[in-house]
Amino acid sequence: MVQKAERVVSPRNPGGATGAPHTGTARTGRPVGNVTRGTTNPNRMRRVDRWLTGPQAWRLRAAADPLVVDLGYGASPATAVELFERLSAVRPDVRVVGIEIEPERVRQAKPLERPGLSFRLGGFELPVPGRPVLVRAFNVLRQYEEADVPAIWRLVQDRLAPGGLFIDGTCDEIGRRVTWVALDAERPLSLGLSMRFGGFELPSDIAERLPKALIHRNVPGENIHRYLQAMDRAWLEAAPLASFGNRQRWTAMCRALNDGGWPVRDGPSRWRLGELTVDWDAVAPG
């Protein structure tokens, strides 16, 4: 059952601002957040997981405690299981905890527990002992108010381990169009997106899947609008390369954006996957 939307604020400050960083011990009490629709599909998160096990794998390898949280995994625990299996290839002793605010979803996931993979009831307070090095929340914040996003971000950021990363992302039903904001304990770092070649006409088609912090900002005068328009122009200008394949065309688009002053990251090895990451400051709300 989907819960009627409520304002989400830090339990440490009912006014909405967060207080001192959390101590790293598990909280007790009512989970922070609302029950979401919970729709999901197997392999839906493969694109962001590929990024976590690629450019961001160093965070897991360097972690003193390889604790990872899949926050709000939905009505099916399939994507949490997939995250555990994918991260195990990077760090065999990884511990993935799937957290859901709906008790029945947790009950149904319990039979899938194994060494390194567990499920528990909770919300944005992250009721786990210790500090996670990775927190993945996909299609979760999209169902909240834009005004609540900063407080939710801060609540999760305060729980991160040193060098930890919080991923707030959104994708379509089968994971062909994916976007995510990556945040460390201090601030948002980047906006990533990944698209299936052949599944779009223009790169800006991904606008409907932007994270909550940006989805209402795709209007003239906002940074994200300028960025998506620049992507479209570069994509169209690279049309002569289409005969060589979409990977070549996408790579040319990314290179043109970089040459045009956009602070894109990671380079051709990632671009060929239909992936593109840009510094957050370049697309942040104005």
Report pLDDT digits (tens) over 10-52.
Answer: 444 333 333 333 445 444 567 887 776 666 778 899 999 999 9
| Cα within 13 Å of Cα(22), Cβ side | 29
Which pLDDT score is estimated for 9?
A: 54
| Domain encompassing residue 169 | 46-186
Phi, psi of 278 (to 5 degrees): -135, 150
Residue 104: inside a domain: yes
Which pLDDT score is estimated for 169?
A: 97
Which pLDDT score is estimated for 13?
A: 39
Residue 172: inside a domain: yes
CATH number assigned to the domain comprising residue 98: 3.40.50.150
Decide the pairing of beta strands 177-183 and 117-121: unpaired
H helices of the chain, in order, are: 46-52, 57-62, 78-88, 103-109, 149-157, 212-215, 223-237, 246-259, 268-271
**C-beta of residue 251 within 8 angstroms of C-beta of residue 258:** no
Number of domains in the chain: 2
Residue 192: inside a domain: no
Which pLDDT score is estimated for 1?
A: 40
Which pLDDT score is estimated for 8?
A: 58
Instruction: Say whether both 161 and 274 belong to one domain.
Output: no
Instruction: Say whether both 124 and 159 belong to one domain.
Output: yes
Instruction: Say whether both 93 and 213 belong to one domain.
Output: no
Instruction: Say whether both 238 and 173 belong to one domain.
Output: no
Instruction: Say whether both 219 and 253 belong to one domain.
Output: yes
Tell me how far CA of residue 80 lies from CA of 183, 256, 275, in angstroms. 20, 36, 22
Residue 268: inside a domain: yes
Residue 255: inside a domain: yes
Q: Residue 274, by phi and psi: left (phi above 0), alpha (psi -120 to 50) or beta?
A: left
Instruction: Say whether both 225 and 267 belong to one domain.
Output: yes
Residue 193: inside a domain: no
Instruction: Say whether both 50 and 182 belong to one domain.
Output: yes
Which pLDDT score is estimated for 11?
A: 43
Instruction: Say whether both 174 and 63 belong to one domain.
Output: yes
Ranges in the chain, pLDDT < 70: 1-29, 36-39
Instruction: Say whether both 137 and 251 belong to one domain.
Output: no
Which pLDDT score is estimated for 21?
A: 38
Which pLDDT score is estimated for 41?
A: 75
Domain boundary among 186, 215, 236: 186
Instruction: Say whether both 180 and 96 belong to one domain.
Output: yes
Instruction: Say whether both 180 and 227 belong to one domain.
Output: no
Residue 121: inside a domain: yes
pTM of the model: 0.88
Residue 95: inside a domain: yes
- Give the sheet arrangement for strand 188-195, strand by strand: 117-121, 95-100, 67-71, 134-138, 165-171, 177-183, 188-195, 275-279
H helices of 89-139, in order, are: 103-109
